[in-house]
C-alpha cells in the first residue's frame, strides 16, 4: 500500500469515526493539539483502527508516533509485514 | 439537631449481587471476605483480553408477575425491593400517593436491546429497553402511587437515588421512598469497558494494582422513611440518612479529575448538609473501582479532605466482592455501609499481599485502608461515595444519630426563570423558534428531528476539538444549554461554577446510542467495541458534556422517567434551590429522534403515518425531538446580577396511578392529582389559571386522557380556557417537548410570544384559534409518562 493511500485512509477514519472536520485536518496537523484535541480515548481508537486495517500494533508505542497522520503513516510503513 | 420532621430513617434493606441473593447471605460472605468474581459464563469472550465478571446466580428471578414483560434489571430490582419491604414490615401500598420509588441505573434494559437486535426485532422487547421501565415496574409491583423517578447518572445513580429520596421526604412529598439502583451484566458495558482498556484481566484490585475494573451486576434497595411515619408504625430503624452532596467535574466524559477537587466538594457538601464533623465519620465505603485514575483521585481527595481532622479514617472498596455494579453500585454499597454502621464493622478491600500493604502505606500514610479481613470498630457515621462517567460525584452519610441536617434553608425564596435555550425541529434558538411559531410552521413529515450545524457551534464559540466528540443527543443538549446560559446572560466563572447546577430530564437518554453500540458489537464481536462511542450509551453523557463545556461544577443529575422528565427537571431544580444547594439551576429536557427511535415507535404502532395534529383522534403521533433548557435562580440572585426575569416558577406537582409500563390507559385521574398537587404547592387556586400548556400529540388514547382530566379539574371553565400544544409543531419530542411547553409558558408570560394558536374544548368538540397572551398571569404546564405518572408545573408573572 502506497504511503499516500495509508494517509488518505487515516484521514477518512479521523473524519468518520472521531468526528474531526476534514477542512482543518492536514497530514501534518498536530492531532493532540488544541485544534483537533484528541485524547487518550481517541488513541485507543487509533490503535484499534491501525491494527485492524494495516496489521500493525501500536500498543505501547511512543507518543511521538501519534503526532500527526504523517507520523502514524510512517510508523505503519516501517512496521508492516 | 435535625428537627423531627426532617429526619429520614432506614427501615428496610434488600440486595442481590454476586456474593449473595439477599442481605443475610451477602453480609455473611462479605464478613468471610468472599469475592464473587469468576470467569463469565454468560457472554461471548472471544478475542477479549479480560473474561472475569461478578455475576448473579439466582433461579427465582422470574417468580414475579409477568416476567416476560420485564428486563433482567427490573427483575433484580424487584427481587431486592421485595426483600427490603419484607424487612421493613411493609407490603402492598394500594396506590398510596405518599409512597415513592426512585431507582438509579446505568444501562437499564440493555439486555432487551440486545435481544431485540439479535432476535428478529420483536416489539415486545421495546418497553423493557429504557431505564424508565425499572422504577415504574417496581412501583407497579408494590402499588406505590407517589413520585416515581429513575436516575440515569451511570455509576453514581444508586447513591443519588437515596439522596433524592431524602429530599422528597424532607420536602413533605413522601412518607416512604423505595430507593436504590439496579443493573445487569451485559455485552454493551462489557465490550465498552474492554474498548476503553478499563477491565482488569486478573480481577479488580482497588487502591492496589489498579489495572482496571471488573464488572458486576445486581440491585440494592434501601427503604427510606420519614421518622414520623416509622415511629407511627413502630418500624425497625437501622439508622438515619443525613446529608448528601452531588457535584460535577466539568472535566472529562470518562475520566475523573486527577486532583479530585469536585469529589472533595461532594464530600464537603455531604458533611456540611449533615451538620456533622469530618471526624464523626468512622468508615468510608469508597467508589474504589480499581482503575488508576479513579483510585488515585480518591486517595488524593480523601487525604486532602480528611487528612488533618480525621487522619485515621477507615476506607475500603467492596467492589472486589461484588464487581462494579454500575448504577446499582451506590445502592449495594449503601447496604454494606448501613450494615457496617449498625454492626460496628469496617469491611476490607480484598487481595492484599504483605508487599502490597507496604506499597499502599506509602501512598496513603496513616489513613486506615482496611485490607483482607473485616474488623470491629465503634462507628457513629459512615460515608458512601460514588462517581460516574459524565463527571458526576456523589457522597452520602448514614448515621446512628440525627445530626443537624441542613434542608429547605431557602424554601421561602422566589424562583425566577431567567434564560431559555431552544433546539427544536423548527429552529435552534429561541429567536428561530419564535419566528417559526409566527410563520405557522408545521411538521412536513411524520418523523422530524432537530439538526445542529457548525453555524450553531460557531455562534456559541464551541470548538471542533470539543464538538467532534458529541453524539447527536450531546449536540442537542450542549447547544440548548449554552443558548440558555447566553440568553440569561449567565457567565460561568471560577467563583460561581459551584453555585449553579444542571438537571437533565430525558425519556430515552442514551438508548439510541446503546442500540447503535449493540449493532456494532453484534457485527464485530465484543472485542470490537468503540471507546469513542461507548461513553454516549450512558444517559448522563449529554449533561456531562454540557457541564464540561459550560464549566458548571454544582449539582448534576439526569432523571429519566419518560416525557414528564422534562417537567420534573424543573420541579427537582426548584427543590435543589429551596434546599439551599444552589442559587441557580439549569433545568432541561432532551430527547433525540435518530432512525432507531422512529423504528421503535413504528414497531409499537404509536407513530403516525402522516402528519397529525393534537386532538385529531389519530392512531399515532409525529415523532419529534429536541432539547430545551431553562435557567432558574432565586430572585435575589437574579436581581444581584441584573438578570431579566421571564416569569416565576410557583410550584410543581406529581400524580400516579399504576398501570403497566408502556401503557397509559386507565391512569387519567393521576393527572388531576398532579394538577391539584401543583396548585397546592404553588398556593394558587384553579380559578387563577389563565391557560394550559399541555402534552396532547394527536394520539387519541393520550389526548383523551388529557382532555378528560382538564374537564374534571376545570369544569365549566374549560370551554373558555386556552390550551396550547407545542407538539403541533415539534411532534412528540418527549422530555424536550415537556420543557418546551414550560418555555412557551414563560415566553407568553414575558410577552415575547404575544399571540399563539390555542385549542378550546367545548361541547365535546375542539376548536382552534389564535389568541393574545398578554393578559395571562398564571399558566399550568402538564406532562405524562407511561406507567401512569403525570407532572405539572405552574409558572406565573
Q: Please give the helix or strand (H or E) that residue B162 lies within, else none.
A: helix B157-170
All cell numbers assigned to B189: 458495558
B361 touches chain A (CB under 8 A): no
Paired strand residues for B783: B791
Q: What is the pLDDT of residue B327?
A: 98
Q: How many CA atoms lie within 13 A of B350 on its CB side?
A: 17
All residues of chain A having their beta carbon less than 8 Å from the beta carbon of residue B530 are 17, 45
Determine contact, residues B737/B772, Cβ cutoff 8 Å: no
Active site residue B287: yes
B458 touches chain A (CB under 8 A): no
How does DSSP classify residue B618? B
The chain B residue lying nearest A15, using CA atoms, is B468
All residues of chain B having their beta carbon less than 8 Å from the beta carbon of residue A42 are 531-532
Active site residue B324: yes
How does DSSP classify residue B328? G
**Local structure of B288: helix, strand or coil:** coil
Distance CA B588, CA B59 (A): 41
Determine contact, residues B759/B767, Cβ cutoff 8 Å: yes
Question: Residue B463 and residue A45: Cβ atoms within 8 Å?
Answer: no
Q: What is the pLDDT of residue A1?
A: 64
Supply the angle between the helices B735-750 and B430-438 in degrees, to the nearest 10.
Answer: 80
Q: Å from B323 to nearest chain A CA?
A: 23
Distance CA B72, CA B134 (A): 10
Global pTM value: 0.97
Could you say which residues of chain B have pLDDT below 50?
none
All residues of chain B having their beta carbon less than 8 Å from the beta carbon of residue A40 are 255
Residue ranges of domains in chain B, CATH in brackets: 4-399 (3.40.47.10), 415-509+560-796 (3.40.47.10)
**Secondary structure (H, E, C), A1-59:** CCHHHHHHHHHHHHHHHCCCCHHHCCCCCCCCCCCCCCCHHHHHHHHHHHHHHHCCCCC
Which of B462, B532, B545 best tests the A interface by mutation, with the highest count of A CBs <10 A? B532
Q: Please give the helix or strand (H or E) that residue B750 lies within, else none.
A: helix B735-750
All cell numbers assigned to B129: 429497553
Sign of the CA dihedral B212, B215, B218, B219? Answer: positive
Distance CA B725, CA B740 (A): 10
pLDDT digits (tens, 9 = 90+) for B693-719: 999 999 999 999 999 999 999 999 999
Distance CA B563, CA B787 (A): 11
Q: What is the ipTM of this complex?
A: 0.93
- Annotated catalytic residue within B8, B155, B166, B647: B155
Give the Cα-Cα-Cα angle B632, B542, B554 (nearest 5 degrees). 45
How does DSSP classify residue B1? -
Distance CA B432, CA B591 (A): 19
B525 touches chain A (CB under 8 A): no
pLDDT tier, A81 (very low <50, low <70, confident <90, very high otherwise): confident
Phi-psi group of B326: left, alpha or beta (phi > 0 → left; psi -120 to 50 → alpha; rest → beta): left
Helix residue spans in B410-470 (DSSP H): 430-438, 454-460, 464-467
For B642, other C-beta atoms within 10 Å of its C-beta total 7
- Closest partner residue to B464 among A17, A21, A45, by Cβ? A21
Sign of the CA dihedral B86, B131, B394, B202? Answer: positive
Distance CA B631, CA B503 (A): 10
For B284, other C-beta atoms within 10 Å of its C-beta total 29
- Closest partner residue to B196 among A17, A21, A44, by Cβ? A44
Distances (CA, A) of B397 to B162, B240, B527: 10, 9, 39
Distance CA B141, CA B82 (A): 9
Biggest alpha carbon–alpha carbon distance for chain B? 83
Question: Residue A44 and residue B531: Cβ atoms within 8 Å?
Answer: yes
Find all residues with CB under 8 Å of A78, minimum gap 6, and list them: none
Distance CA B64, CA B80 (A): 12
Which of A42, A48, A52 best tests the B interface by mutation, with the highest count of B CBs <10 A? A48
Distance CA B743, CA B795 (A): 10
Distance CA B426, CA B134 (A): 33
Backbone phi, then psi, for B790, in 5-degree steps? -135, 150
Active site residue B209: no
All residues of chain A having their beta carbon less than 8 Å from the beta carbon of residue B255 are 40
Alpha carbon B34 to its chain's center? 32
pLDDT digits (tens, 9 = 90+) for B507-540: 999 999 999 999 999 999 999 999 999 999 999 9
Q: Supply the DSSP string of B664-707, one letter for each residue.
A: -TT-THHHHHHHHHHHHHHT--GGG--EEE----SBHHHHHHHH
All residues of chain B having their beta carbon less than 8 Å from the beta carbon of residue A18 are 468, 532
B182 touches chain A (CB under 8 A): no
Helix residue spans in B530-613 (DSSP H): 541-550, 565-578, 595-603
pLDDT digits (tens, 9 = 90+) for B150-189: 999 999 999 999 999 999 999 999 999 999 999 999 999 9
Select from A20, A43, A19 the least CA-distant residue to B471: A19
Find all residues with CB under 8 Å of A33, minimum gap 6, and list them: none
Select from B276, B405, B409, B275 the least CA-distant residue to B6: B405
**What b/e readout covers B182-215, taking b as 16+ CB neighbours within 10 angstroms?**
bbbbbbbbbbbbbbbbbbbeebbbbbbbbbbbbb
Q: How many CA atoms lie within 13 A of B201 on its CB side?
A: 6
Determine contact, residues A37/A25, Cβ cutoff 8 Å: no
Question: Residue B464 and residue A45: Cβ atoms within 8 Å?
Answer: no
Distance CA B330, CA B565 (A): 22
All cell numbers assigned to B734: 418527549
B535 touches chain A (CB under 8 A): yes
The chain B residue lying nearest A40, using CA atoms, is B196
Burial of residue B241, with CB atoms counted within 10 A of its CB: 0-12 exposed, 13-18 middle, 19 or more buried: buried
For B96, other C-beta atoms within 10 Å of its C-beta total 16
All residues of chain B having their beta carbon less than 8 Å from the beta carbon of residue A34 are 463, 465
**CATH number for region A3-79:** 1.10.1200.10
Q: Å from A63 to nearest chain B CA?
A: 18
Select from B497, B473, B568 the least CA-distant residue to B247: B497
Calculate Rg over the CA atoms of chain A.
Answer: 11
Determine contact, residues B180/B222, Cβ cutoff 8 Å: yes
Question: Residue A19 and residue B470: Cβ atoms within 8 Å?
Answer: yes
Backbone phi, then psi, for B298, in 5-degree steps? -65, -45
Distances (CA, A) of B62 to B68, B75, B79, B107: 8, 7, 9, 20
- Annotated catalytic residue within B209, B229, B287, B351: B287
Amino acid at each position: 500500500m502506497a504511503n499516500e493511500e495509508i494517509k488518505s485512509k487515516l484521514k477518512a477514519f479521523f473524519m468518520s469515526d472521531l468526528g474531526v472536520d476534514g477542512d482543518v485536518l492536514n497530514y501534518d496537523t498536530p492531532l493532540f493539539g488544541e485544534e483537533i484535541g484528541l485524547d487518550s480515548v481517541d488513541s485507543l481508537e487509533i490503535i484499534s483502527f491501525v491494527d485492524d486495517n494495516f496489521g500493525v500494533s501500536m500498543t505501547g508505542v511512543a507518543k511521538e508516533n501519534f503526532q500527526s497522520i504523517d507520523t502514524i503513516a510512517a510508523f505503519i510503513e516501517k512496521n508492516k509485514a | 439537631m435535625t428537627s423531627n420532621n426532617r429526619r429520614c430513617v432506614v427501615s428496610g434493606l434488600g440486595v442481590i449481587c454476586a456474593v449473595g441473593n439477599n442481605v443475610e447471605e451477602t453480609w455473611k460472605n462479605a464478613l468471610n471476605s468472599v469475592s464473587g468474581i469468576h470467569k463469565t459464563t454468560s457472554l461471548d469472550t472471544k478475542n477479549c483480553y479480560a473474561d472475569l465478571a461478578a455475576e448473579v446466580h439466582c433461579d427465582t428471578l422470574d417468580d414475579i408477575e409477568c416476567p416476560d414483560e420485564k428486563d433482567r434489571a427490573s427483575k433484580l430490582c424487584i427481587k431486592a425491593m421485595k426483600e427490603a419491604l419484607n424487612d421493613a414490615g411493609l407490603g402492598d401500598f394500594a396506590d398510596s400517593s405518599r409512597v415513592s420509588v426512585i431507582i438509579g441505573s446505568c444501562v437499564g434494559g440493555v439486555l432487551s436491546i440486545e435481544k431485540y437486535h439479535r432476535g428478529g426485532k420483536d416489539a415486545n422487547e421495546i418497553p423493557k429497553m429504557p431505564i424508565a421501565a425499572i422504577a415504574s415496574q417496581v412501583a407497579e409491583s408494590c402499588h406505590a402511587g407517589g413520585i416515581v423517578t429513575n436516575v440515569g447518572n451511570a455509576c453514581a445513580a444508586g447513591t443519588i437515588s437515596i439522596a433524592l429520596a431524602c429530599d422528597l421526604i424532607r420536602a413533605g412529598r413522601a412518607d416512604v421512598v423505595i430507593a436504590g439502583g439496579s443493573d445487569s451484566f451485559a455485552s454493551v458495558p462489557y465490550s465498552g469497558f474492554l474498548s476503553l482498556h478499563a477491565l482488569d484481566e486478573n480481577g479488580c484490585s482497588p487502591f492496589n494494582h489498579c489495572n482496571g475494573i471488573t464488572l458486576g451486576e445486581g440491585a440494592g434497595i434501601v427503604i427510606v422513611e420519614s421518622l414520623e411515619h416509622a415511629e407511627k408504625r413502630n418500624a425497625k430503624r437501622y439508622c438515619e440518612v443525613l446529608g448528601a452532596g452531588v457535584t460535577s467535574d466539568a472535566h472529562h466524559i470518562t475520566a475523573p479529575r486527577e486532583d479530585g477537587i469536585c469529589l472533595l466538594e461532594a464530600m464537603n457538601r455531604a458533611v456540611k448538609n449533615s451538620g456533622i464533623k469530618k471526624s464523626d465519620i468512622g468508615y468510608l465505603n469508597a467508589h474504589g473501582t480499581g482503575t488508576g485514575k479513579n483510585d488515585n483521585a480518591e486517595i488524593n481527595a480523601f487525604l486532602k479532605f480528611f487528612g488533618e481532622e480525621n487522619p485515621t479514617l477507615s476506607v475500603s472498596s467492596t467492589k472486589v466482592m461484588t464487581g462494579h455494579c454500575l448504577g446499582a453500585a451506590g445502592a449495594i454499597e449503601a447496604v454494606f455501609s448501613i450494615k457496617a454502621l449498625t454492626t460496628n464493622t469496617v469491611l476490607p478491600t480484598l487481595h492484599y499481599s504483605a508487599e502490597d500493604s507496604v506499597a499502599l502505606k506509602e501512598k496513603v500514610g496513616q489513613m486506615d485502608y482496611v485490607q483482607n479481613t473485616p474488623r470491629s470498630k465503634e462507628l457513629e457515621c459512615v460515608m458512601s461515595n460514588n462517581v460516574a462517567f459524565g463527571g458526576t460525584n456523589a457522597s452520602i452519610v448514614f448515621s446512628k444519630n440525627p445530626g443537624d441536617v441542613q434542608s429547605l434553608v431557602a424554601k421561602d425564596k422566589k424562583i425566577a426563570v431567567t434564560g431559555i435555550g431552544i433546539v427544536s425541529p423548527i429552529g435552534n434558538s429561541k429567536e428561530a423558534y419564535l419566528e417559526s411559531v409566527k410563520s405557522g410552521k408545521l411538521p412536513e413529515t411524520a418523523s422530524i428531528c432537530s439538526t445542529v450545524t457548525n453555524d450553531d457551534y460557531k455562534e456559541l464559540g464551541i470548538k471542533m476539538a470539543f464538538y467532534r466528540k458529541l453524539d447527536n443527543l450531546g449536540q442537542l443538549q450542549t447547544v440548548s444549554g449554552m443558548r440558555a446560559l447566553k440568553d440569561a446572560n449567565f457567565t460561568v466563572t471560577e467563583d460561581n461554577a459551584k453555585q449553579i447546577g444542571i438537571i437533565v430530564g430525558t425519556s430515552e437518554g442514551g438508548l439510541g446510542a446503546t442500540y447503535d453500540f449493540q449493532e456494532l458489537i453484534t457485527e464485530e464481536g465484543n472485542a470490537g467495541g468503540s471507546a469513542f462511542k461507548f461513553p454516549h450509551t450512558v444517559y448522563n453523557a449529554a449533561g456531562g458534556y454540557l457541564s464540561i463545556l459550560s464549566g458548571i461544577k454544582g449539582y448534576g443529575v439526569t432523571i429519566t422517567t419518560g416525557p414528564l422528565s422534562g417537567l420534573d427537571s424543573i420541579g427537582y431544580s426548584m427543590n435543589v434551590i429551596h434546599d439551599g444547594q444552589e442559587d441557580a439551576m439549569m433545568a432541561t429536557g432532551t430527547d433525540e429522534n435518530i432512525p432507531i427511535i422512529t423504528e421503535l415507535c413504528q414497531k409499537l404502532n404509536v407513530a403516525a403515518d402522516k402528519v397529525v395534529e393534537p386532538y385529531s383522534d389519530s392512531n399515532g403521533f409525529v415523532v419529534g425531538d429536541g432539547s430545551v433548557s431553562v435557567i432558574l435562580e432565586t430572585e435575589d440572585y437574579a436581581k444581584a446580577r441584573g438578570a431579566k426575569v421571564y416569569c416565576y416558577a410557583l410550584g410543581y406537582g406529581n400524580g400516579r396511578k399504576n398501570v403497566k409500563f408502556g401503557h397509559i390507559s386507565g391512569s387519567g385521574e393521576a393527572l388531576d392529582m398532579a394538577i391539584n398537587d401543583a396548585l397546592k404547592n404553588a398556593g394558587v387556586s384553579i380559578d387563577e389559571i389563565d391557560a394550559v400548556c399541555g402534552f396532547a400529540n394527536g394520539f387519541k388514547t393520550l389526548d383523551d386522557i388529557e382532555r378528560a382530566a382538564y374537564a374534571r379539574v376545570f369544569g365549566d371553565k374549560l370551554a373558555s380556557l386556552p390550551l396550547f400544544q407545542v407538539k403541533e409543531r415539534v411532534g412528540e419530542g418527549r422530555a424536550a417537548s415537556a420543557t418546551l411547553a414550560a418555555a412557551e409558558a414563560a415566553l407568553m408570560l414575558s410577552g415575547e410570544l404575544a399571540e399563539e394558536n390555542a385549542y378550546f374544548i367545548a361541547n365535546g368538540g375542539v376548536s382552534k384559534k389564535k389568541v393574545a397572551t398578554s393578559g395571562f398571569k398564571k399558566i399550568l404546564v402538564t406532562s405524562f409518562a407511561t406507567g401512569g405518572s403525570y407532572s405539572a408545573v405552574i409558572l406565573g408573572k
